[in-house]
Amino acid sequence: MHGIRRQQEREPTQDELQQAKQRVDRYRALNSHVMDLKAKSVFTKDSLDATKRLLEQNTELHTVWNYRRTIFTSLDEWQSQDARQQMLDGELKFLLDIITKNIKSYWMWNHRMWALSSLPRPEWQRELALVAKLLALDARNYHGWDYRRFVVAQLKDAATDKHAVDIQEFAFTTEQINHDCANHSAWHNRSKLLPEILAQRDEDGQLQALQTENDLILNAIYTDPDDQNAWLYYDWLLDIQKSDADRCRLLRNKIAMIRELLELEEDSKRPLIELVSAYAELERLQSGSVLETEKKECLETLRRLEGIDPYRIGRYTDMSRTLSKQWALAA
C-alpha cells in the first residue's frame, strides 16, 4: 500500500508449508469433484452444496456460478413460488457472507443480480440499504456502484413517482462526493442522473441546479486541486449544454473559479492547465471573446508550467506553439 513501509516477511515453518499444501490439495480435489459433477450434468442438492463449498474458497470461478444457477433451475422445488423464495433468500445470505471476502468479484455481483431478479417477492428497498452499507466498506468499488444502479432501476420501474427515485439517488451521490471528492464512481453516477433531474425543471430551475453543481465542483477542487474527477465532471457539464452561449457562460464561471483558487495556490499545476484550456475553448466557441491580455497570460502560464512540471515540458511547449499560431501571437 502507498505510504506504508513494507515489513520483512519471515520464512514459513515446515508445519506451515505442510498445512498450506494440504489446503491446496483439498481445494484441487473439490474443484475436480465439482467439474466432474458438471460434466455428468448432476443437478441435485448435493451438487449445489459442493459448488457452495468451492465458491466459498474462490469466488472467481464463473463456470461454477453458471453451473450453480443451472442446478437451481433444474430442481423440482424451483417450480414452487414459496420454495423458490426460500431457496433464493438463503442464496442471498450466502452471497452476503462471501462479499466481504472479495467485494470486487464480478461473478458474485452478477449472480446476486440473477438471484434478486429470480425472486418471486424481491425486497428492492432492503437491497438498496444493504448496498449502501457495502459501499461504506469500499466507497469507490465500481462493481458495487454498478449493482446499485441495477437496484435503483428496479425501484424506479416499480415506483409511481419515478422522479423521486432520481432525486433520492442524486442526494446519495452528493453525500458520497462530500465524503470523498475523489470518488470517481459517485461522480459518474451523478452524470447519469443529472440529465433526468434537469429534464424535470424549467429554465430557472436548470440554472439553479447548474449553480449547485458549480458549488459542488468548487468545493471538491478546493479540497484537492490536482484530483481529476471534479475537472472531468466540469468538462462533461460543458458537453451537455444546449448551446455555445451556455457553454461560454459556464467557461466564464470556470475561469472565475480557477482564478479564485489560484489566489490561494498560485503554483497548483492542474488549475493552471485548466485555466489555459478554458480560455482556448472559450475563444474557439466565441472568437474574439478572449482579450489579448488574457491570451498573453495563457502563454505566460504555459511557460510557468514548464518550470513547475519539467517532466511534461514538451506538452506545454506544444500547447504554447499551437495557441500562438491560432491566436497569431509570438510564443
d(CA 30, CA 16): 21
**Tens of pLDDT, residue by residue, the chain (331 residues):** 444 455 667 788 888 788 888 899 999 999 999 999 999 999 999 999 999 999 999 999 999 999 999 999 999 999 999 999 999 999 999 999 988 778 888 999 999 999 999 999 999 999 999 999 888 888 888 888 999 999 999 999 999 999 999 999 999 999 999 999 999 999 999 999 999 999 999 989 998 999 899 999 999 999 999 899 999 999 999 999 989 999 999 999 999 999 999 998 888 999 999 999 999 999 999 999 999 999 999 999 999 999 999 999 999 999 999 999 999 876 5
Cα angle: 240, vertex 320, 285; to 5 degrees: 30
168-203: pLDDT as tens digits: 999 999 999 999 999 999 999 999 999 999 999 998
pLDDT of 3 reads 47
Residues 6/29, Cβ–Cβ less than 8 Å = no
Backbone conformation region of residue 328, classed left if phi is above 0, alpha if psi is from -120 to 50, else beta: left
**Sign of the torsion angle spanned by Cα atoms 159, 161, 163, 166:** negative
pLDDT of 140 reads 86
Q: What's the pTM value of the predicted model, to 2 decimals?
A: 0.84
pLDDT of 331 reads 58
Radius of gyration of the chain (CA): 27
Residues 257/298, Cβ–Cβ less than 8 Å = no
d(CA 254, CA 251): 5
Which residue is it, cell 489566489?
263
Hey, what's the cell of 268? 497548483
Residues 64/51, Cβ–Cβ less than 8 Å = yes
Hey, what's the cell of 167? 432525486
Hey, what's the cell of 27? 481445494
Residues 251/238, Cβ–Cβ less than 8 Å = yes
pLDDT of 102 reads 83
